[in-house]
Amino acid sequence: MLDAYLALEDGRVIEARGRAPGRTRGELVFTTAYTGYEESLTDPSYEEQVLTFSYPLIGNYGVRSERFESERIHPRAAIAREFTDEIVEWFNHEDVPAIDHIDTRELVTSIREEGAMNCGIAVGSDVTPGDATAELDQCISMSDHIDIGKRVTTVEHTTYGGANAEVHVALIDCGAKMSIVDSLVERGVAVHVLPYDTTPEMLTEVDPDLLFISNGPGDPANFEAAQTLVEEYTGEIPIAGICLGQQVVARALGGTTEKMNFGHRGVNQPVRDLDSGKVVMTTQNHGYTVGDPGETLNVCQINVNDGTAEGLTNRDLDVITRQYHPEAHPGPHDSFGFFDEVLEMTGQDTATETDSSSDRAVIADN
């Protein structure tokens, strides 16, 4: 049996059961999702965070790699009321500390009341509360992780989809989920996944029909290269963004972003479309949001719970973004139509070519 301690920014040190050994630190956040733990754990947007699951049992339907959103687990550590042995094997294989037998209801309540907070974790056969506190003392804020994009982006230009596709999308990988790539490829386009620090000169070589800024971790202010691309290409080609991508687009076009108290993380966030009045349920994972959209972008969708901007648009400039995850892995499928709406800006026939998201064949490495 492993000892485990969780040191919180509010001064508490909580004793738990250790499931996977290690010492680490990060921003403590929670998700309300009751399924999709494989997708959540491999979502690059959780980089430099410690993920708490509010659902009490995690791992009850196993671990399958075809559900992964990236090649590895991204949270620094994982916390649950109880983890199954199978998911603990995964944590051990990837050297990700994990603890359970903790009152996650109280922990989630603390985060909701006090906000996301820094924490330190120590798990092992001989760890002490002081070891967890020492990790906490070295923890920095998410905004101070200025090079976080480097930890989650692709190393080189990789292309997915049909070699003879009429529409080519440049997806700037700030920590993209593979389901975003799948959702575009299924609609018959070629997707060029490019590093987060791609320059306008590099993008010119691709000559895309659409610029797409992906989701990703941390403060959007630290993704200056992606912001520059939006500034350079607005009005030249259509532009879309998801999650961090919405925030980057907003900053590039005169808007502002701000840190949320505890963010939106889960699969049941209600979003209202301001034109139709329709409410859809959405998957979300973000700790920053658009504060003031500026004069160029219009808010077209809002979060029903707190009124934050969930969708931005400028039809004249062919710009459309969403704060939530329309690819919906995990989560409800209410928002799949976003990708059709995006591709309509390019004149592409939006008929989905396949319903399979497991075929991720690479057609070119550049």
Residues with a catalytic annotation lie at: 243, 325, 327
The letter for the amino acid at 249 is: V
Cα Rg of the chain (Å, integer): 20
Q: Is 285 annotated as a binding residue?
A: yes
As a whole number of angstroms, the distance between CA 25 and CA 29 comes to 12
Beta carbons within 10 angstroms of residue 105's beta carbon: 11
- Does 45 carry a binding-site annotation? yes
25, 50, 29: which is closest to 137 by C-alpha?
A: 25
The reply, when asked if residue 287 is annotated as ligand binding, is yes
Q: Is 301 annotated as a binding residue?
A: no
Question: Within 10 Å of residue 224's Cβ, how many Cβ atoms?
Answer: 16
Which residues, in sequence order, are CB contacts of 130 under 8 Å at separation 6+? none
Burial (CB < 10 A; 0-12, 13-18, 19+), residue 251, is buried
Q: Is 251 helix (H, G, I), strand (E, B) or coil?
A: helix
> Is 18 among the annotated ligand-binding positions?
no
Q: Is 218 annotated as belonging to a binding site? A: yes
Which residue is it, tokens 């709406």? Answer: 341
* 348 annotated ligand binder: no
Residue list for the binding site for L-glutamine: 45, 216, 218, 244, 247, 285, 287-288
